[in-house]
Amino acid sequence: MSAVTDELAEGRTEDPGLPVHIDTTRPHQARVYDYWLGGKDNFAVDREAAERALTAYPGLRRGVRAQRAFLANAVGYLTSTAGVRQFLDIGTGIPTANNTHEVAHAADPDARVVYVDNDPVVLAHARALLIGSRAGTTSYLDADLRDTGKILTEAAAHLDFSQPIGVLLIGILQLIPDEDDPRGIVARLMEAVPPGSWLAIFHPASDILADQIREVARQVSVRAATPTTLRAKTEITRFFDGLDLLEPGLVQVHRWRPGSPAPDMGDDVPGYAGLARKP
């Protein structure tokens, strides 16, 4: 376990502004993902859920890595080709390689990034992100995706909402059940940003390797505070209503490349990715 998770689990932290309690009795998706990616910021309950999911679908780690690659590819495209210099990354998870600010700052050191999450372990890592980035360019908000009003209000202190913004919802919408109106949440976010802004989404699929991914979702959701809601391609496509999808459109995550699909190797990864522009 890392020093950050150790401190939080014991109720210790050097910064009084950081959360001092973390529930180690329930798995949390951010920490489960951290384990799948080889990280150390997870607890026994997270590792148990992660291993059960791997038993159900041994190819799971490939999909998780493809999700991270999509994030880097999308941010790289937006900074280098589309000229976007601001990002709102909601549900960012525990920092790993090729974080949004790292990719964006490679193109422009003055690019601004606001990270949003509500997990204490993720928020604790904000210290390292803020210290390691150019002063004033990276910020962190403690908020739930459902609270779009808080997110937009606080993000406006760091981002210029008169200029295009890249909204990143990578592996987060599956944690919003249908009764909480995820399409309405996405619509409110995109209504608040100006024309020329972009939306990037990765979402686990219910219609690819259906039996295996359904068991993965069940194993991760067991005892978790937030269950996983899988969706089919037609449902995920609706999140982009009113936006112009960049080619190749909404495709399996490992086949997404800006402008054209990756070569088809004949395999499947149960998750969809897409990037779209607000006209």
User: Which H or E run contains 139?
Assistant: strand 138-142
Q: What is the pLDDT of residue 262?
A: 62
Q: Rounded CA gap, 207 and 230, in Å?
A: 9
* Segment 57-72, tens digit of pLDDT: 888 888 888 999 999 9
* Helices 29-36 and 60-80: angle between axes, nearest 10 degrees: 100
Residue predicted with more confidence, 100 or 222: 100
pLDDT tens for 119-146 read 777 777 766 666 556 667 999 899 999 9
Angstrom distance (rounded) from CA 154 to CA 139: 10
Q: Is the pLDDT of residue 5 over 60?
A: no
With CA atoms as reference, report the closest residue to 86 among 78, 74, 98, 95: 78
pLDDT tens digits, one per residue of 252-272: 999 998 876 666 667 899 999
pLDDT tens digits along 158-217: 999 999 999 999 999 999 999 999 999 999 999 999 999 999 999 999 999 999 999 988
Write out the DSSP string of 163-196: S--EEEEES-GGGS-GGG-HHHHHHHHHHHSPTT
Q: Which of 242, 250, 247, 257 has the alpha carbon at shortest distance from 273?
A: 250
Higher pLDDT, 107 or 221: 107
Q: Mean pLDDT, the chain, as a whole number?
A: 86
Please enumerate in sequence order all residues whose Cβ is within 8 A of that of 247, keeping only pairs 6 or more positions apart, or say none. Answer: 258, 259, 260
pLDDT at residue 98 in the model? 78
Q: What is the pTM of this model?
A: 0.86
Q: How confident is the model at residue 227 (pLDDT cuts 50, 70, 90)?
A: confident
Instruction: Output the CA angle 194-198-203, nearest 5 degrees.
Output: 135
Q: Which of 21-30, 37-46, 58-67, 94-103 has the lowest mean pLDDT?
A: 21-30
Looking up tokens 């209504």 gives: 191
Q: What is the mean pLDDT of residues 8-35?
A: 62
> Is the pLDDT reported for residue 115 higher than 90?
yes
Interatomic CA distance for residues 113 and 137, integer angstroms? 6
Going along the chain from its start, the domains and CATH numbers come out as 3-277 (3.40.50.150)
What is the token pair recorded at 190?
A: 């995109």
CA dihedral over 17, 138, 122, 218, signed as positive or negative? positive
Instruction: Name the helix (H) or strand (E) containing 199.
Output: strand 198-204
- The two tokens of residue 267 are 């395999």
What is the structure's pLDDT at 275?
Answer: 98
